[in-house]
């Protein structure tokens, strides 16, 4: 029977490559990032997500795991429309989280965020 989804491939996190630095920076800049429970409401409502597999929940997961290689380019798919902020059951300032993720994963940070 096809349920439309399948079991994920198992993956292991390479702790030598994973770094918590970016998560720490994002958390300091936007503390509400900490309370994310990964419910996925943001991806369900996402305007960009309708056209492309852009997914804020996944970005959050990748940042928290320290697997931030592809995160920067991924974050730029956001249209910043702000629906996810209104829908978030945890009241996370999602737009600012996204801007922070984008900024702190940039090869050369362009913006001076304190």
Binding site for other proteins (CB under 8 A): 32, 45, 47-48, 50-52, 54, 73, 76-77, 79-83, 85-87, 91-93, 95-96, 99, 102-103, 106, 110-114
Q: Is the Cβ–Cβ distance between 75 and 55 less than 8 Å?
A: no
Distance from C-alpha of 32 to C-alpha of 4, rounded to nearest angstrom: 33
To other proteins, the closest distance from the beta carbon of 71 in angstroms equals 12
How much is the CA Rg of the chain, to the nearest whole Å?
Answer: 14
Distance from C-alpha of 21 to C-alpha of 32, rounded to nearest angstrom: 17
Taking the least distance from each CB to other proteins, the nearer of 39 and 86 is 86
To other proteins, the closest distance from the beta carbon of 23 in angstroms equals 19
Taking the least distance from each CB to other proteins, the nearer of 23 and 33 is 33
To other proteins, the closest distance from the beta carbon of 96 in angstroms equals 5
DSSP string, 40-56: -HHHHH-SGGGTS---H
């Amino acid at each position: 029977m096809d349920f439309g989804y399948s079991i994920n491939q198992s993956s292991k996190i390479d702790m030598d490559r994973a770094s918590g630095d970016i998560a720490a920076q994002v958390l300091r800049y936007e503390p509400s990032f900490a309370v994310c429970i990964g419910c996925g409401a943001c991806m369900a409502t996402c305007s960009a997500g309708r056209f492309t597999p852009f997914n804020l929940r996944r970005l959050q997961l990748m940042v928290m795991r320290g697997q931030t290689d592809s995160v920067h380019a991924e974050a730029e798919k956001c249209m910043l429309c702000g629906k996810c902020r209104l829908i978030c059951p945890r009241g996370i300032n999602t737009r600012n989280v996204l801007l922070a993720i984008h900024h702190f994963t940039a090869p050369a940070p362009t913006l001076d965020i304190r």
